[in-house]
Chain A
Amino acid sequence: MLTKRIIPCLDIKNGRTVKGVNFVDLRDAGDPVELAAIYAKTGADELVFLDISATEERRKTLANLVRNVAAKVNIPFTVGGGISSVEDVDILLQNGADKVSINSSAVKNPNLINELSSKFGSQCITVAIDAKQINNEWIVHLVGGKVPTALNLFNWAKEVELRGAGEILFTSMDNDGTKDGFANTALAKLSNELNIPIIASGGAGTIEHFVDTFKKGNSDAALAASVFHFKEIGIPELKIKLKQEGVPVRI
């Protein structure tokens, strides 16, 4: 049976992890490669690296990081952040990334999704969507949720699927950082209306939140950062609980 995926997300700046990462057993908490290897060993199903650097060296630094991760880690990983062209994607895939995630660049130029999926295949193109509710309507936002667009989440998600995205990473800005649980009503609606996998993001605080997003939100995967980085939730115990609750997971 296809299992539900648990995906730690690492924020990267200039080749290093940002946000405090509280791993006592790490020699270097800022080293994304070492952190990735630990997550792979403890049962993460996939990893996401989100690059937030804004330097001119960005491309080269990220390509090097991808290469180092691919050399050491034996599970799949996705790279996102600032990707806006076929060349950007080509460099990352050639260095060993399995998938790339695009966000703002897809909103600005939706045709990029078609271009990338026809050149590299849908399976390696994830479209990330950040959205929050305004007057009870889910509106797509850019720049980490700061800038609203005219797009409705569900309409945009359907367009993204039609254009060839392989999966959607949906972050609810209303839930992100709250540790109050995922946006399961919106997630269930996405999962119901679309035929590609949906990754839930934003709001993870407890093990029960993961159970809920798989059972009530029909999510195919759940992504989180701080609860894993600060060891509030360990992946082995999370997966045992999910299995007890009847959620199929790889243990």
Chain B
Amino acid sequence: MKIVIINYGAGNIQSIKFAIERLGYQAVLSNSIEEIKAADKVIFPGVGEASSAMKKLKESGLDTLIPLLTQPVLGICLGMQLMCNSTEEGKTKGLGVFNVNVVRFSNKVKVPQIGWNQIENFKSKLFNQVLEKSYIYLVHSFYAPLCKETVCTTNYEIKYSTALQKNNFYGTQFHPEKSSKIGEQILNNFLNL
């Protein structure tokens, strides 16, 4: 199986590579359109600020490639947010895979949300063998509200989407690579789709 982690200069992607290796697979970091197209599984990570990440995607032409991919694609954290219609962060237009607009948490809660929270209301194979209300690790200031493509939810001030799915496109707001055994199970489920 050929696993490609899209490397467009956004954040800590080494951890995802290591997590995949702990599961017994190999992954390559790449920004080559040909290599990404040829992959069996594509992981679209992202940590940092949305508008600058989007700018980097555009510079390498990945913004037009990603929505056209046909193999399973997993966006993680900012990667998932960039796959939405838009995000309030830096007033950024997204890739439009998921039909939802990402917004900021209000100041009624501490922002960013940092730490372990629970996931529930699973509606995707991504959560095979994962118990409802399991704990996963999150660190984010912006969130995707509930929508048609919501396949997992979490409560923080409000109930919002911690995973989205549309056809071959998957997204998690949490970091499976940092979410202990539960995260490894979810990552493994994705690699076995």
Contact B14 A95 (CB under 8 A): yes
With the chains together, A66 CA to B184 CA distance in Å? 20
Say whether B47 contacts A124, CB under 8 Å: yes
Q: A76 to B18, Cβ gap below 8 A?
A: no
Contacts of A123 in B (CB 8 A): 47, 112, 114, 139-141
Q: Are B116 and A74 in contact (CB under 8 A)?
A: no
| Chain A interface SS verdict (over half) | loop
Q: Is B131 located at the chain interface by the 8 A CB criterion? A: no
Interface-side segment among B32-40, B61-69, B95-103, B174-182: B174-182
Inside 8 A of B48's CB, which chain A residues have their CB?
Answer: 119-121
Q: How far is the CB of B176 from chain A (nearest CB, A)?
A: 9
Q: Which of B14, B114, B180 contacts A74 (CB 8 A)?
A: B180
Majority secondary structure, B binding face: mixed
Say yes or no: B18 contacts A3, CB within 8 Å.
no
Contact (A74, B115) CB under 8 Å given A121-B49, A250-B135: no
Q: How many residues of A contact B (CB 8 A)?
A: 36
A98's partner among B12, B22, B111, B155 (CB-CB below 8 A) is: B12
The smallest C-beta distance from A164 to any residue of chain B, in angstroms, reads 10
Closest to B179 in A: A74
Min C-beta distance of A129 to chain B, whole Å: 17
A122 at the interface (CB under 8 A from B): yes
How far is the CB of B151 from the nearest CB of chain A, in Å? 21
* CB of B46 to closest CB in A, whole Å: 10
1/0 per position for A95-135, CB-CB distance to B under 8 A? 11110000000000000000000111111100000000000
Chain B nearest Cβ from A139, distance in angstroms: 25
Over the window 222-248 of chain A, the binary record of Cβ atoms lying under 8 Å from chain B Cβ atoms (1 yes, 0 no) is 000000000000000000000000000
Binding site for B on A (CB under 8 A): 1-5, 40, 45-46, 67, 70-72, 74-76, 93-98, 118-124, 166-167, 195-197, 220-221, 250
